[in-house]
Amino acid sequence: MLSPEASSQNLRLASYSSCKYMANANVFLPLFDPAVDTFDAIRQSSTFCFTVVLAVALRAESAAGNNHEKIQYCFEEAQKLSTMTLFARSARLETIQGMLLLAANSENNWFAISHVYQMSQDMGLPDLIQPETDNGGNETTTKNCGDRRSFRRLRAALTLHHVEQEVASGTARQSKCLPVHDDFLKSFLDNRFSTTLDMRIVANVEIVRLRGRLLLQLDNQGTLVGTVDGRIKNVDEEINTWFNRWDSMFQGQDYDIGCFQRSSICLQRDYAFIIVCSAIMSKLGTELFSEANTNVMTDEMRHVIRVTLDRSTKILQFIADNNDYKWHLQWAPTYSALFPVFTAALAFKLARMRPLETDWYELQSTFSAVAVILQDYPYRHFSLVIRKLSRLALEIGLSRRRPETGLPQEPQNTLSSRGGDPIRLEGTSTDPSLQNYRNEAADNSMSPDLISTYDVEVSGLSSAIDSAPEEVYSNAHERTWMPSDMSQYSFQDMNPGGEQLDIQSLLETPDYSFDFNLFVTSIQSSNLN
């Protein structure tokens, strides 16, 4: 039995954490209306939903405090209460909200999302959303939004729709949700109970739909050879049209240019661009190989690789430089936090295809900055994946520098990838390029463990580099293109993101592998079928 003082202290902590959740995490998944869903309202309406809110809030704050026991208790209690929903005769809206939050913030979340979707079907929530193929107008929206409670149901249905599509894409599964009709989204925003928080979820639903439409157009196009430049320009124009419209809408609501809402749609724009460009690379590579029976890279392939690499690097630099986005990232659901991990891995793979045109030190610096940001995220191995990419970029940069002049050179096989003895870079190394780079890194406040790795051993990185380094470092004009394996990249000693990146069961590849061809294919199937 807690003393009155202890009970009062716990209540104050819970109230504080709940308020921080509403101010930070609710911008990612706007399930709650801050004017109505207050601390007392959620606490009285649903113990389960209240427990999940506390668990997510405490976990996001764990990097700065010692709340581990409270976090464990909240998650255990939420897990216990969530199992009861498996046998419930009917679901409540608060139960669906709690389960959706729990699933979106879990690492292995596809089955939890499916369970939430099944519960929402019992309440008829998916029927509230007007699909794009339905031309009956927005009667459904108008009919079901006459009061605040009904609009809360609609908000939960739309948020679940978006999360289900994003998680399905990231886990290479088929989405159950159809694209949403424009009339529905317009009616949703025009509703008198809609808030500015709802703008972001509608914008995200639109960009997912646009991304799917662009991928469908690409899939239905005959041949890409000779049309790649025009295709990329058209994709960029359509995505920018979406961005400019929403950016002006946020600006009209007095959102600052550097705020999270406007930064978020900027990143969504660039993410959609690199996804479509990845699909262009995959299709173009297949066409080139089948038509010429060769895998020699063409100018068109070089161009799409370069623009995709530039945009991927731009995304990572934007995340590293934008303070509002960096702050909110610690409150992000799992699929949002995986976004920079995927982008970094894609950038690294594309850079290896164009090694002589890549500034490896700039790329390493960008990776390192993003890894530091993700250190505060609850799933720390996301940061470890990017940190490992940073080490690999540094090693490639060092191998291309002549010790005497510091100028680039054709690198030698320093990673013993053919099975020889491991190469060690000791702390007493006399290599001027290595020592100079350590000094530069120290001046730029690089994380100490990133530098010390190279004083120990780099042989452990060999599994992450192809077994034939002459392919990796070949002349840029002779670099070959292999359409069947755009980028399988193996992480030897860590899980790169749980189920969201765990695609090896579909590929029958070794554990901890990630295939971007399959990732792009999964997005096509989940959004278009």
Whether 25 shows a pLDDT value over 60: the answer reads yes
pLDDT band of 137, cuts 50, 70, 90: low
Whether 434 shows a pLDDT value over 70: the answer reads no
- Nearest alpha carbon to residue 49 among 85, 94, 106: 94
CA angle 44, 36, 115 (to 5 degrees): 65
Q: What is the pLDDT of residue 8?
A: 56
Q: What is the pLDDT of residue 88?
A: 66
- Kindly list the domain boundaries of the chain, sorted by start residue: 398-517
Chain segment 473-511, per-residue pLDDT in tens: 333 333 333 333 333 323 223 333 333 333 233 223 222
The number of angstroms, rounded, from the C-alpha of 263 to the middle of its chain's C-alpha atoms is 15
pLDDT band of 163, cuts 50, 70, 90: very high
Which of the listed ranges 44-58, 95-109, 170-184, 303-317 does the model predict with the highest average pLDDT? Answer: 303-317
Report, as an integer, the average pLDDT of 346-368.
Answer: 93
d(CA 67, CA 358): 43
The mean of the pLDDT values for the chain is 73
DSSP state of 108: S
Whether 418 shows a pLDDT value over 80: the answer reads no
d(CA 21, CA 336): 16
d(CA 457, CA 304): 36
Whether 232 shows a pLDDT value over 90: the answer reads yes
pLDDT band of 81, cuts 50, 70, 90: confident
Report, as an integer, the average pLDDT of 374-378.
Answer: 86
pLDDT band of 92, cuts 50, 70, 90: confident
Integer-rounded Cα radius of gyration of the chain: 25
- Nearest alpha carbon to residue 31 among 84, 105, 83: 105
Whether 446 shows a pLDDT value over 50: the answer reads no
Q: Say which residue, 503 or 162, is predicted with more confidence.
A: 162
- Nearest alpha carbon to residue 364 among 324, 317, 410, 296: 317
Q: What is the pLDDT of residue 33?
A: 84
pLDDT band of 423, cuts 50, 70, 90: very low
Q: What is the pLDDT of residue 9?
A: 58
The two structure tokens encoding residue 361: 């030190």
Residue whose entry in the numeric block shows the structure tokens 């998680």: 167
Chain segment 242-259, per-residue pLDDT in tens: 999 999 999 999 999 989
pLDDT band of 136, cuts 50, 70, 90: low
Q: What is the pLDDT of residue 30?
A: 87
Judged by average pLDDT, the poorest of 160-164, 174-178, 291-295, 458-462 is 458-462
The number of angstroms, rounded, from the C-alpha of 105 to the middle of its chain's C-alpha atoms is 13
Which of the listed ranges 168-182, 322-336, 356-370 does the model predict with the highest average pLDDT? Answer: 356-370
Share of the chain above pLDDT 70, in %: 66
Chain segment 60-69, per-residue pLDDT in tens: 776 555 566 7
For helices 299-321 and 334-353, angle between their N-to-C axes, nearest 10 degrees: 140
Whether 416 shows a pLDDT value over 50: the answer reads no
Q: What is the pLDDT of residue 72?
A: 73
Residue whose entry in the numeric block shows the structure tokens 């891995």: 345
Q: What is the pLDDT of residue 65?
A: 55
Whether 427 shows a pLDDT value over 80: the answer reads no
Chain segment 212-226, per-residue pLDDT in tens: 899 999 989 888 888
For helices 381-399 and 360-374, angle between their N-to-C axes, nearest 10 degrees: 160
pLDDT band of 378, cuts 50, 70, 90: confident
Q: What is the pLDDT of residue 66?
A: 59
Q: What is the pLDDT of residue 360?
A: 94
Judged by average pLDDT, the poorest of 40-49, 90-99, 282-291, 293-302 is 293-302
pTM over 0.85: no
Q: What is the pLDDT of residue 508?
A: 31
